[in-house]
Amino acid sequence: MPISLPAVRYLLAIGFHHVRQVGRYGWLYAANAALNLLDGAVAGHAAKLLTGFTGVVLLLVATRQILTGNVTFGPRDILASLRLLGLLILSMLPIMAVYGGLTFAAGARALTYPLFAVPVLAMLYVLTRLSFLLPALAVRDATGLGASFAQTRALWPLLLALAVIATVAGALLDFTVSVAGFPDILRTVLAALVGTAALLFTQAPICWLYARTTGRDASAVAP
């Protein structure tokens, strides 16, 4: 699917369709709200790492539900979540090395700060090309960094446009919640709800593109 206004509009329609399915994804909204409250209540790096990893597992399970319509969880999901994190960290290592070098050079006044945009843009590009890792792991398809790059070769401009739209919309909603003057607990819950809606809005179109690319049944994803 080439990038075009009709293509972007259809993908946005898929995202809005899943955001509106509150009954279908009620468990995810509730789980993320509880996880946000727990993360704010616990102290210590180990506890926060645990809540963060739990969020990754929830994301994997939610992605499977988007693709298949079913909510299932098993021990293999923990391994799949660990693999997802490992692959993402591995893909970011070269960019982090470049960023570290730029930081050192800037500290020595040998570099201008606008060049810091280079690793940021590179990170955005790589994450866009790795968009299919999560749906593949969610339905236990064979995948890897090379496979995801190959599958998104023709789709990355469309995926990038979707990511930019979702990021801007999510940031605006999050800013509105943060300045509305709500009590801390209510603000935490609302932030979790906004984050969950943004997740569904972004991940549902990605799942549709993944299903379309790999020949999977996309009936559970399409509006």
Buried b (16+ CB within 10 A) or exposed e, 77-116: beebbeebeebbeebbeebeeebeebeeeeeeeeeeeeee
| pLDDT for residue 112 is more than 70 | no
pLDDT band at 177 (very low <50, low <70, confident <90, very high): confident
pLDDT digit string, tens, across residues 58-98: 999 999 999 999 999 988 999 999 999 999 999 999 888 87
- Write down the mean pLDDT value for the chain: 86
Give the pLDDT band of residue 136 (cuts 50, 70, 90).
very high
